[in-house]
């Protein structure tokens, strides 16, 4: 049980929450790199990923600031778990659209309400510029959709573990 006690300490440690913030910022930087350096325009599903990484940052900041309280850990761990779970669903949708085992239409509009019209407020980062169905190759023939599927499943499982530890945490 030494691993669990180490992880119990880990959810109180700022390294976990800072790591999630840095990971999310790195993924957003990769998105910018692909869009502006490699000239790969984002689709609606890509924009959903960007927004979910921002949600992950938000809940990680909550975790960082309230890491010494059980309720703070539960809220932040649940938020991160929900964010990565939604990302896994979006990754499955992206992979299914790319591989054609999901027949999906992908519009150019986010169709968000006016109170969250991020595509209008920050079009340079949140405006979908292409339709879904293709993701670029990242490395060794692995496409972005395939990499995101693996990444989000791993992160969802990790987040589930952190959430369970936050529930089991002693005050």
CB 7 within 8 A of CB 165: yes
Note the pLDDT tens digit of each residue in 82-114.
Answer: 999 999 999 998 888 887 776 666 666 666 777
Between CA 135 and CA 143, with CA 140 as vertex, the angle to 5 degrees is 15
pTM for this predicted structure: 0.87
Mean of the per-residue pLDDT values of the chain:
85
Q: What is the pLDDT of residue 107?
A: 63
2-11, 93-102, 132-141: segment of lowest average pLDDT:
2-11
Please, what sign has the CA dihedral across residues 69, 75, 76, 80?
positive
Helices then strands, each counted (H, E), the chain: 7, 2
| Domains of the chain with bracketed CATH | 2-102+131-168 (1.20.1550.10)
Classify burial at 69, counting beta carbons within 10 Å of its beta carbon; exposed 0-12, middle 13-18, buried 19 or more: middle
How far is residue 124's CA from residue 22's CA, in Å, rounded to a whole number?
22
How far is residue 86's CA from residue 110's CA, in Å, rounded to a whole number?
16
């Amino acid at each position: 049980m030494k691993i669990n006690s180490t992880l119990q300490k880990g959810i109180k440690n700022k390294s976990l929450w800072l790591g999630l913030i840095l990971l999310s910022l790195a993924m957003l930087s990769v998105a910018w790199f692909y869009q502006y350096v490699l000239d790969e325009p984002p689709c609606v599903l890509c924009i959903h990923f960007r927004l979910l990484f921002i949600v992950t940052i938000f809940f990680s900041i909550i975790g960082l600031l309230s890491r010494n309280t059980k309720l703070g850990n539960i809220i932040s761990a649940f938020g991160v778990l929900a964010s990565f779970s939604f990302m896994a669903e979006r990754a499955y949708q992206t992979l299914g659209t790319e591989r054609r085992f999901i027949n999906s239409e992908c519009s150019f509009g986010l169709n968000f309400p006016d109170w969250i019209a991020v595509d209008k407020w920050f079009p340079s980062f949140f405006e979908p510029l292409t339709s879904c169905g293709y993701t670029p190759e990242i490395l060794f023939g692995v496409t972005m959709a395939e990499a995101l599927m693996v990444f989000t499943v791993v992160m969802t499982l990790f987040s589930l573990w952190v959430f369970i530890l936050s529930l089991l945490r002693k005050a």
